[in-house]
Amino acid sequence: MRRILIPVIALLLLLPAVNNVIAQDEEELWLRSPLKFSLSAELGIGMPLGPDDFNDLWNASFPVTLAFGYAVIPYVEVKGWVTYSSWGISSLTAKEAIGIGGVTTIDGGGITVVMYGVSVKVNPFPNSRMAPYIEIGGGAYQATADDLTVTEDGQVIISNSMDDASGGLITGAFGMQYGINERWTAYSEFNYYYGLGESFAPGNLLLRNESDPEVEGSSLQIGSIVLGISLGL
C-alpha cells in the first residue's frame, strides 16, 4: 500500500506546478503576436491637415482601411493596405470663401480619396499582451471630386469641377495593440499621409468665376485616428 500511496501523493503535490507550466505555455502561445499572416480592418476619423483650403472648407471623413500582413520575423510585419476616404464640403465656410450671400444652396463638391500601398510595422514587444508599435510605408493616391453647383434664388450662379489628381505618398503611424486572445488583436493608432508632388488642389472647386485664375496645386496631407481589429492566421 505504501508503494502505491507515495507515488500518488507525489503526483498530487506536483499537479499545481504542472498546471502552472501548462497555463504559462498557453498564455505565451496566445500572446505570441503577430502570427504568420494577418487580416485587419479599421475605421477612423480623418482630418485634413493641408492644404489650407482643404483644411478650412472640407469636413472630416471616416476612412475605412483593409490590410493583409505577413510576419517576416516576430518583430517585423509587412502589410499591404488600401484606404477609402470621402470628404464632404462645409457649406457655411464655402459660402464665405466664395463671397456670396442671400439664399444659396451648395450641391456636390465632395472629394473621394483612395490610398493604397505597402508598409512595415515594427513591434518591439511581440510577446506582450499590450504593446506599442510604429509603422512606415509608401504608396499612391487617387482623388476625384463631384462637380460643385451653387444656386441662388433658384438660379445656378457657379458650376465648377476639379480635375482628378493622383500621385505618390508616404505614410507613418504609431499605435497601441491589445491581444484579445491567441488570434484576435484590437488596436488604436494615429496615421499621417503626405502626398508627393503639388497636384492636389481642392480649392479649384471654389473659383468664383470661370475667368478667375486656377488655384495652384498643393500636397495632400491627412491625419486620422483609427480603431481596428486584426485576425491572426
| Three-state helix/strand/coil letters over 113-172 | EEEEEEEEEECCCCCCCEEEEEEEEEEEEEEEECCEEEEECCEEEEEECCCCEEEEEEEE
> Quick one: pLDDT at residue 13?
45
Mean pLDDT of the region 54-79: 87
**SS3 string of 25-41?**
HHHHHHHCCCCCEEEEE
50-54, 161-165, 209-213, range with greatest mean pLDDT: 161-165
CA–CA separation, 204 and 199 (whole Å): 11
How far is the C-alpha of 96 from the C-alpha of 109, rounded, in Å? 15
Whether 26 is in a domain gets the answer no
Of 214 and 12, the structure prediction assigns the larger pLDDT to: 214
Rg of the chain over all Cα atoms, to the nearest angstrom: 27
Find all residues with CB under 8 Å of 132, minimum gap 6, and list them: 123, 124, 125, 174, 175, 176, 177
- Residue 16 lies inside a defined structural domain of this protein: no
Check residue 106 and give its pLDDT.
Answer: 79
- Which carries the bigger pLDDT value, residue 182 or residue 31? 182
Average confidence score pLDDT of the chain: 79
101 — pLDDT class (breaks 50, 70, 90): low
The residue with greater pLDDT, 93 or 230, is 230
Contacts of 53 by beta carbon, 8 Å cutoff, 6+ apart: 97, 201, 202, 203, 206, 215
Task: Look at the chain and report how many structural domains it folds into.
Answer: 1
pLDDT of residue 169: 94
pLDDT over 50 (residue 15): no
CA distance 56 to 191: 20
pLDDT band at 192 (very low <50, low <70, confident <90, very high): very high
Percent of the chain surpassing pLDDT 70: 70
pLDDT of 24 reads 45
Q: What is the pLDDT of residue 147?
A: 83
Residue 8 lies inside a defined structural domain of this protein: no
Write down the pTM of the prediction.
0.77
More confident residue, 107 or 207: 107
Q: Kindly state the average pLDDT of the residues 50-64.
A: 74
Is 70 exceeded by the pLDDT of residue 3?
Answer: no
The residue segments making up the domain with residue 135 are 32-232
Q: Is residue 2 part of a domain?
A: no
Is 7 domain-assigned?
A: no
Peptide bond into 51 cis (omega under 30): yes
CA distance 155 to 225: 41
Is 17 a member of any domain? no
Amino acid 97: pLDDT = 67
Low-confidence winner among 34-38, 70-74, 171-175, 183-187 (lowest mean pLDDT)? 34-38
- Any domain includes 19: no
C-alpha 219, offset from chain centre: 18
Whether 17 has a pLDDT exceeding 60, the answer reads: no
What CATH number is associated with residue 114? 2.40.160.20
The answer to the question of residue 118 being in a domain is yes
